[in-house]
């Protein structure tokens, strides 16, 4: 993923969302939209305008699976972000996983898998 890409970020913790934004900026990528819940994420997928997504598995009290389903159906690649302990459904098992706490290198490695 060497060409600059625009991302949808689904993250419910503002500080983590800003960290991802900073890391993507350092890697030459941009953010099209940031959302903190599945409903807003689904609206963003319907609107489009981004190349890939980074999804926190736990968005508040909801899981990101409906959002991942919508991205998969739209042909948009995505990365799961997790603090650990989450079981990823088989239909999403091929998606790269980014483990918290994030580092610039771990994000770069996850992007390379898209």
Average pLDDT over residues 60-79: 96
SS (H, E, C) 7-62: EEEECCCHHHHHHHHHHHHHCCCEEEEEECCHHHHHHHHHHCCCCEEEEECEECCE
Rounded to whole angstroms, how far apart are CA atoms 106 and 42?
A: 26
Residue pair 69/42 in contact (Cβ under 8 Å)? The answer is no
For residue 42, what pLDDT is reported?
A: 98
Distance CA 103, CA 26 (A): 12
* Domain 6-112 of CATH type 3.40.120.10: no
What was the pLDDT predicted at 3? 85
pLDDT at res. 2: 60
Contact status, residue 76 vs residue 101, Cβ threshold 8 Å: no
Q: Is the pTM of this model over 0.75?
A: yes
Q: How confident is the model at residue 86 (pLDDT cuts 50, 70, 90)?
A: confident
Residues 6+ apart with CB under 8 A from 35: 8, 9, 10, 41, 43, 44
């Amino acid at each position: 993923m060497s060409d600059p890409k625009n991302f949808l970020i689904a993250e419910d913790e503002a500080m983590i969302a800003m960290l991802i934004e900073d890391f993507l900026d350092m890697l030459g990528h941009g953010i099209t939209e940031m959302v903190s819940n599945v409903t807003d994420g689904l609206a963003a997928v319907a609107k489009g305008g981004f190349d890939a997504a980074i999804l926190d598995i736990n968005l508040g009290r909801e899981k990101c699976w409906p959002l991942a389903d919508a991205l998969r159906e739209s042909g948009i690649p995505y990365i799961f972000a997790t603090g650990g302990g989450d079981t990823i459904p088989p239909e999403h098992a091929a998606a790269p996983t980014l483990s918290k706490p994030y580092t610039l290198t771990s994000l770069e490695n996850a992007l390379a898998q898209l």
